[in-house]
Amino acid sequence: MSTHVPRKAVTPAAVLARKGREPLVCLTAYTTPMARLVDAHADVILVGDSLGMVVHGLPSTVGVTTEMMILHGQAVRRGTSNALLVVDMPFGSYEAGPARAFETAARIMTETGCAAVKLEGGETMAETIAFLTARSIPVMAHVGLMPQQVNTTGGYRVQGRGADADRVLADAKAVAEAGAFSVVLEKIAEPLARRITEAIPIPTIGIGASPACDGQILVIDDMLGLFTDFRPSFVRRYAELGQAADAAIAAYAADVRARTFPAPEHTFPDA
């Protein structure tokens, strides 16, 4: 049983200061109950646009809206007191330019109470990151595999192999120089992820990257095995809750059909 021990609230500055030190523990969360569980152990909670697929059944993150991110961000904020809360900026909400990105980021932060936002993109987003950070909006960057761009990059393939390594390294250096306080490295060849971590002054947070990264993040539903038919190769399952839930639901259905639930102890006698 987990005991929630109060800790000092994590800030973007505290995350930045962890570069090269104790690894950062990061997980996604989309609801208040899950946020409470994660908050007891994690340094960073990300309300990722992965909620489009995980919670809403969308085929990709592209259909996620700012309103969806705010709704789930508000729910997670209610369950978070220690971890740094970061909310993803969804596809189409920031790419048009720095001013548009500022409007979206300011709205997300104001309406959710999060402490930072995350956006995808390397060199092409450097100007936007610099614009946001100069206006008191902490930014977590995201390079390598960028799910919002899968329609133009050829799917969910590994990034940074061979000649592609220079591009990914340049992206990571660009977001660091632009003022991001950390950067997610997703599905990047391990030697390159290690090289990037050594080369830039901000913490790297790996997902399918390298144990040498300054932190690690996983989608909570993947890590807990809530999906019985989806097993990314870079995920270690720490539980099989999907199978346990299926068995519990099947047992409940059998009891209802057999009229063994509710039992007398689950009903109310006359006063």
Catalytic site includes residue 265:
no
Q: At 117, list the tokens.
A: 């936002």
Taking the mean position of all CA atoms in its chain, how far away is CA 218? 7
| Residue 8 assigned ligand-binding role | no
| Residue 49 assigned ligand-binding role | yes
Would you say 117 and 89 are in contact if contact means Cβ atoms under 8 Å apart?
A: yes
| Residue 164 assigned ligand-binding role | no
| Residue 88 assigned ligand-binding role | yes
| Residue 118 assigned ligand-binding role | yes
Q: Give residues with Cβ within 8 angstroms of 184, minimum separation 6.
A: 118, 140, 141, 142, 143, 144, 204, 205, 206, 207, 217
Catalytic residue among 67, 95, 123, 186: 186
Taking the mean position of all CA atoms in its chain, how far away is CA 115? 14
34 Ramachandran zone, left/alpha/beta (phi>0; psi -120 to 50):
alpha
Show binding-site residues for Mg(2+).
Answer: 49, 88, 120
Catalytic residue positions, numbered: 186
Show binding-site residues for 3-methyl-2-oxobutanoate.
Answer: 49-50, 88, 118
Show binding-site residues.
Answer: 49-50, 88, 118, 120
